[in-house]
Amino acid sequence: MELLKNYSQESLFERYRAAMLFLSRCGVVILLYGVSASMALASLGTAIVLIFWVLSFDWIRPWARLIKLPSFWPLILIPVLVALGSTYSVAPFDYSYRYFGVYSRFLVMLIIIAIINDATWQKRCWIGFFTGAAVTLISTYLGIWFVLPWSQSQTTGFGVNHSVFYDYIAQGVMTSFLAVVALTHVLTQQAIKQKMIWSSVLFFAVFSITHLLTGRTGQVVCLFALLGVIFIALPPRKALFTAGIFLLSIIILYLTSSVITQRFTVIFSDVQAYQQGQEMTSIGARLAMWRASLNFYWEQPLLGHGTGSYRWLAEKVFTNPEMCKISCVHPHNQFLFFGVEHGLIGIFIYCWLFVGTIKIALLVERQYKLIIFGLLTIIAVDSFINSPFWISSERNFYMAVLALAMTSFYLNKSRPAMSGAQ
C-alpha cells in the first residue's frame, strides 16, 4: 500500500509538472507570434513562460542539456555582469535598477531553450513566428491601399512609412530575418516549385523594406545579411556572380524608390551638418553619441563605469533637453554600451555570445547554418548602429528567435556533418 501511495503521489506530481510545462510552452508560442505582430502578446507570452516555468519546479533537470550549448556561459554572464555592475556604478540606483530587468532576458533565452526541447513544440513556435511575420507583411502591403487601424502612418500610397504593429526599425529588422530564411530556402531547396515560392517571399520581404518602410536600419541589415548568406552558401566565384546580380537589383530598387533615395541622400547632409557643429540629426546624433561613448570608455576601460552609468554620464554632456531625449538613453551602439558600463570585460562577453553562436552554426546542417549566420549578421550590424538588446521590441525578437534557433537546430537535431566526419 505504501508503494502504491508513493507511486500515486509521484504520478500526480508528474502530471502537475507536465501541465505547467504545457502552459509554459504555450507562452513561448505566444511570444514568438508577438515578436513580429504584437508587443502586448510578446509581453504576455514572456510572463506566461516565466510564471508556469517557476510553478513547474523543473529548474534543475535541464542544466545538463543547457551547459552543452557553446553560448551558455555568455548568456549566464551578461545578466550577472549587469548585477555586479550596479554595486560600483557611478550612477544612482534608480538609474541602474532597470537594467537587470532588461538584460535578465538572456536568462529567459535559457528557459526557452530548456522547455522547447520537443520537435513538435519547436515546429509550433516556428509556425507562431512566421504566422505573425506573414500578418505583418500582408498588412504592410494592404496599407498601400487601405488605412488600417494598426498601421503606424494612417496614410495610403507609396513614399510613406507603412510599418504596422512595430516601428519601422523593428519591423525592418524582423522582415530582414524573413528575407534571410527565404533566401536560404531558395539556395538549398531542389524543387523548382519551392524555389519559386520562396523567391516570391524574398522579393516581397525585400521590397517592403526598401519601398514601404522609411528607416535605413532595416535596409542596411537586410543588405549585409543577404550578402553574408550568399557568400557562406556558395563557392567564391559563384558567390561573387550572385552578389553582383543582387547588388544590381538593389541599385535598381534604389533608383525606383524615392524613400530610399531620400533617406540615403540625407546621410551626406547630416555628416556635413555634424562637421559644422549641428548634432540634431539622425547621423549627427549617432556620431556625437559614439564620440562621447569612446571618451567615457577610455576613462574606465577595464570594468567600465557601472550599470546605468551611460545615462548618468551622457546627461552631463548632452545638456540640450531635446538632444538628451535622443542621446541620453543609449548610445545607439551595443558594443559601446557594454564598453561604457562594463568595460573591456563587457565587450568581451558580448563578443563571446557571437563566437558561441558561430560554433553552433558550424555544427548544424547547411540550411540551418545559413539561417543562424544570417540572424547573427543582422544582430551584429544592428549592434553597430543601434542598441538591439536594450530596445524592447528588438530585444524580444532577437532573444526569442535566437533561442528557438539554438534549441531547434543544435540541441535537438542530429548533425550529419559530424556523423560523416566520425
Amino acid code (one letter) for 406:
M
Give burial (CB, 10 Å; 0-12/13-18/19+) of 4.
exposed
Measured CA angle at 326 (ends 36, 296), to 5 deg: 110
Q: What amino acid occupies position 51? A: I
First to last CA, the chain: 51
Q: What is the Cα–Cα distance from 126 to 138, expressed in whole angstroms?
A: 18
**Separation of alpha carbons 97 and 197, rounded Å:** 48
Q: How many C-beta neighbours within 10 Å does residue 64 have? A: 8
Q: In Å, how far from its chain's centre is CA 58?
A: 27
Written as nine digits, the cell of 301 is 576601460
pLDDT, one tens digit for every residue, the chain (422 residues) = 554 455 455 688 888 988 999 999 999 999 999 999 989 999 999 999 999 999 988 888 888 788 889 999 999 999 999 999 999 999 988 888 888 888 988 999 999 999 998 899 999 999 999 999 999 999 999 988 988 888 877 787 787 888 898 888 899 999 999 999 999 999 998 889 999 999 999 999 999 998 888 878 888 999 999 999 999 998 888 889 888 888 888 777 777 766 666 666 666 666 665 655 566 666 778 888 999 999 999 999 999 999 999 999 999 998 888 888 888 889 999 999 999 999 999 999 999 999 999 999 998 988 899 999 999 999 999 999 999 999 888 999 999 999 999 998 887 654 444 333 33
Report d(CA 58, CA 62) in Å as an integer. Answer: 8
Residue type, 272: Q
pLDDT the model gives residue 415: 45
Is-contact 391 345, C-beta < 8 A?
A: no
pTM of the model: 0.90
- Measure Cα distances from 3 to 7, 121, 364, 409 in Å: 6, 34, 45, 42
How many beta carbons lie within 10 A of that of residue 296, not counting itself? 23
Query: Rounded to 5 degrees, what are φ and ψ at 279?
Result: -105, -10
